[in-house]
Amino acid sequence: MNGRLFVISAPSGTGKTTLLRQVMTGIAGLAFSVSHTTRLPRDGERDGIDYHFVSRQEFLEMRDRGSFLEWAFVHDNFYGTSLQEVHGRLGQGLDVILDIDVQGAAVVRRSAALEASHIFIIPPGLQELERRLRGRGTESEEKLRTRLQNARKEMEAARDYQYLIVNDVLDEAAEVLRAIILAERAKAHRLPDGNPIMLRLDR
């Protein structure tokens, strides 16, 4: 049986990674799609777990071979989702989380072959976003400015998503995200013609 795709986007610094860590440990059968990126690892990030960290040349070779389900240039770096990884996980019946930006989400949305639930996470405000990004302490001032500028544009894409979560109080946002995933899974218990799968009364 095939799994489902969940596309999750947010302006950088919103708390998407933090939320996903909290929610994913509590739900069985969910896999995180580990993207490829040309960005340098942050302190504590591990190759193959947070990202596959590759050179620009390796990334462009993969892109030209058609290895990506989608890819985008985000905040001055390339990021891409490996087709092989996603199809492998879906084929095992796992639901797959795609933590991708608004450009990548638009590609998935346009693809007739990829049915996904689209979730957008916003911070309670831009000042709080800046506070969180600064508090994380991973970006230079210049890179932080780029991410904040891009946040304004990314927020405009929120209307294209099926679900919107405000990450104000972390535990509350996590509860909403968990609820969405579980509700989407419940929707999946339907036959291709849309009828619900019924109990077998002869058992």
Binding site for ligand ADP (CB under 6 A): 10, 12-18, 132, 135-136, 167, 170
The answer to the question of residue 100 lying near ligand 5GP (CB under 6 A) is: yes
What is the CA 51 to chain-centroid distance, rounded?
12
Min dist CB 1 to ligand 5GP, Å, is 25
Can you list the pairs that 68-72 forms with residues at least 24 positions away whose Cβ atoms lie under 8 Å?
A: 68/36, 69/108, 69/114, 70/100, 70/104, 70/107, 70/108, 71/104, 72/100, 72/101, 72/103, 72/104, 72/107
The answer to the question of residue 104 lying near ligand 5GP (CB under 6 A) is: yes
Report which DSSP code applies to 107: H
Out of ligand ADP, ligand 5GP, none, what residue 74 binds, judged by CB under 5 to 8 A for its kind, is: ligand 5GP
Q: Among the candidate windows 75-83, 161-169, 174-182, 187-195, which touches ligand 5GP by CB under 6 A?
A: 75-83
The answer to the question of residue 54 lying near ligand 5GP (CB under 6 A) is: no
Out of ligand ADP, ligand 5GP, none, what residue 103 binds, judged by CB under 5 to 8 A for its kind, is: ligand 5GP
- Burial string for 36-66 (b: 16+ CB within 10 Å, else e) reads bbbbeeeeeeeeeebbbbbeeeebeebeeee
Query: Residue 152, class by beta-carbon neighbours within 10 Å (0-12 exposed, 13-18 middle, 19+ buried)?
Result: exposed
Please count the residues of this chain forming the interface with ligand 5GP, following the rule CB under 6 A: 16
Min dist CB 82 to ligand 5GP, Å, is 8
Interface residues with ligand 5GP (CB under 6 A) are 9, 12, 35, 39, 70, 72, 74-75, 79-81, 99-101, 103-104
